[in-house]
A = this chain, B = another copy of it.
Amino acid sequence: MAYFDNAATTYPKPECVYKNMDEFYRSAGANAGRGNYQLALSAGEMIAETRSLIQELLHCPAKQVIFEPNATIALNLIIQGIILDGATNVYISPFEHNAVTRTLHHFEKNGSIKVHLLKVSDDLQYDLERIRYQFDEVKPDFVIVSHASNVIGLIAPVEKIFNLAKKYGAVTLVDMAQTAGLVDLNVGLSTIDFAVFAGHKTLYGPTGISGFVMNPEKKFQPVIFGGTGFESANQDMPNSLPQRYEMGTLNISGISGLNAALKWIKETTIEKIWDKEQEHRNQLLDLLAQYPFVRIVGNSKERRYVGIVSILIEGVSSDSAGPIFDRCNVAVRTGLQCAPLAHKFIGTHPSGTIRFSVNYFTSDKDFDELKQALDYIEMEL
């Protein structure tokens, strides 16, 4: 099996991730932050260390790390909370995932917000001049940008967009599901209020653990309520962080895997992981370029990309190409990849694209198998 679906979840994980999950959960799988006893404390210490590792990776020692089960829930809590607190004009990139657009659609439908698309030029450049003009026209309350598109991999100039947004007093949120641990971003910047991460994607951790980093002064109203093992008599959610947004039992097993993954990233270095993934992306682009029936979409030499490449195959509808690659033992992701807005922007809606995504571990064997698959498709066409 050649695995080219790393944008869905990185696979395999570094060996230390599997190992630590198993060993930690066997030896210290008690309920963290609830009991007082030693087992619970050592889980608590591991969780605290994991928060520090995230702060270090994202250069944000003064920001608060909040754990959530997945990036979708993290995005919902922030987006719904900020809207309930009064944000009306919401600007998003044209590449947002359904976790963002479906949530916004709910509020747009009931008339409480208006969604605007940040201007991106046809050659895929965020047009800061025109964005400034947009902001002058309708003042932004809330600006949400995917750091990298999960469809074409394009990296957004988040710092510049948020610099501008902050001049208008907007709340800012960057979705780093496809970039945390891969694209070095200074989340410590005062222009970044919220940054969401997905543990099981570019952070190389397991499923079931994600979260966000926040400016502790930007508390919003809670959307999900429950036990926090803290101020239990209070029937409102506590005001303190992280408890205000961490409801229910934390995924200790998942956090122990993420802990190991973060240490692996630190040891390997984000630069080396980036370089390696870029190398694999170039290898992929070179291979795809050999096949005249392949059309790469949303790719421009002047822009920066993570290791995600979307293509169309002449004469094959993208949403039905999955089984063909599957027969060839190549794992890809076809269709809309939960991001119909992005496909509308690049002109591939509604059948979508065939998406390949590499990671640090993508091997020559993977590329050989992909080559065989493409040779086979060429013959069949």
Contact = CB atoms under 8 A, between A and B. Distances in A.
Interface string A111-141: 0000000000000000000000000000000
Contacts of A144: none
Interface string A228-256: 11001101110000000001111111100
B331 A39 contact: yes
Interface residues of A, number: 84
A338 B227 contact: yes
Given A37-B326, A207-B254, A224 B73 contact: yes
A347 interface: no
A31 to B, nearest CB: 4
User: Interface of chain A, helix or strand or loop or mixed?
Assistant: loop
Interface in A295-314: none
B1 A38 contact: yes
A98 B30 CA distance: 20
Nearest to A68: B69
A330 interface: yes
A334 interface: yes
A336 B232 contact: yes
Interface string A194-207: 00001010000011
Interface stretch (A9-17, A156-164, A269-277): A9-17
Contacts of A72: 224-227, 247-249
Contacts of A340: 232-233, 235
A85 interface: no
Given A9-B252, A35-B332, 18 more contacts: A9-B249, A11-B29, A12-B29, A13-B25, A18-B25, A29-B206, A30-B331, A36-B325, A75-B226, A76-B225, A97-B227, A98-B235, A99-B227, A99-B248, A105-B225, A105-B236, A224-B224, A253-B253
* Smallest CB-CB A-B distances: 9 pairs: A72-B248, A69-B69, A36-B322, A227-B338, A208-B251, A72-B226, A8-B31, A208-B208, A37-B331
Interface of A: 1, 3, 5, 8-9, 11-13, 18, 21-22, 25-26, 29-31, 34-40, 69-73, 75-76, 97-99, 101-103, 105-106, 198, 200, 206-209, 222-229, 232-233, 235-237, 247-254, 257, 322-323, 325-326, 329-340, 349-350
